[in-house]
Amino acid sequence: MIRTESLCKYFPVDGREVKAVDGLDLLVNQGEVFGFLGPNGAGKTTTVRLLACLIGPTAGRAWVNDLEVGKEDLRIRGQIGILTESPGLYDRLSARRNLEIFAELYGVKDVRGQVEKFLRLLELWDRRETEAGTFSKGMKQKLAIARALLHEPPVVFLDEPTSALDPEAAKTVRDFIETLRGQGRTIFLCTHNLDEAERLCDRIGVFRQRLIAVDTPDALRRQLFGRQTVMHLAQMHDGLVATVRALPFVKHVEPLPGEGGTGKLVISLDDPAAQNPAIVGALVAQGAQIQFVNELKHSLEDVYLSLMHNGAAN
């Protein structure tokens, strides 16, 4: 569990204070994969560094696994794993030795067994005696993830875990994050990859110095765009548009003409599953030929850009 109350971090720049994190109030539930989304310079990494007790807050309070930041920092560091954007490995040491050093620092009881476990899980066992400096970026990232998890922390911070990885390496990392979710760990994931956030995260927070919005991706879609049905018609004319607009439960209709007289009706509704049959019936009664019906689902990118440009969801 992660909780913050009015958490702030300001940095002095040219005689003035620059707000990197400004009044963050956030609750991340135990066992949740929480996506922290925002542009470069938004303060995401600063937030992770605050919660990982690598820097101190300017104001406000925070708790990680019920331990307070700034008061129980050593205990917090022992109960978290952290992956930064730069792996920071010992390049001249083997993959195995890199992990052994950190396992010893964390006081892991079965160092050899735990190192082998994570090297195998992340498909690095066959390269265990290879110097880490010769690894590809994807292999280094996987080794850094193994390092962050050696001591089986209940809370894990991942800062851009698939950044600049090739598709195969990125899939391995995403699959591993799914495995962590199944183990009940709390995962705080900073990412620019919106498709990744969509697939992995239970909830997301959109952040730019301040928290703009937080909820599940689907809930944010409904708040911002409502729910919309798309009716694909073999022939479209104004009478069909008027028929749909006359239905009392229809909130909005947008006609989109297509080629050869075809077209679409984008219809905003509260409950498409219950209301679509009545719309179909009304259109068929007017002679409409309906090719197919689907729900318009806005992408997480649409949600993100709308929040960035327009502020918090209502």
* Predicted confidence (pLDDT) per residue in 110-129, tens digit: 999 999 999 998 889 999 99
> Residue 220 corresponds to which tokens in the numbers above?
């944010």
- Which segments of 154-295 does DSSP mark as H helices, in order? 167-182, 194-200, 217-225, 238-245, 272-285
Q: Does residue 14 come out as left (phi exceeding 0), alpha (psi in the -120 to 50 range) or beta?
A: left
The pLDDT mean for the chain works out to 91
Provide mean pLDDT across the span 259-266: 91
Q: What percentage of the chain exceeds 70 in pLDDT?
A: 98
Q: What is the pTM of this model?
A: 0.84
Looking at residue 75, what is its pLDDT?
94
Stronger pLDDT, 138 or 63, i.e. the higher one: 63
Domain(s) of CATH 3.30.70.100: residues in the chain: 222-310
**140-189 pLDDT, tens digit each:** 988 999 999 999 999 999 998 887 778 888 888 888 888 888 788 999 99
- Residue 275: pLDDT above 90? yes
Q: Which CATH superfamily is domain 2-217 in?
A: P-loop containing nucleotide triphosphate hydrolases (3.40.50.300)
Provide mean pLDDT across the span 35-45: 92
Q: Which amino acid is at 288?
A: A
Architecture of domain 222-310: 2-Layer Sandwich (3.30)
> Residue 53 corresponds to which tokens in the numbers above?
């007790």
Domain(s) of CATH 3.40.50.300: residues in the chain: 2-217
For residues 34 and 202, the answer to whether their CB atoms sit within 8 Å is yes
**57-90 pLDDT, tens digit each:** 999 999 999 999 999 999 999 999 998 877 789 9
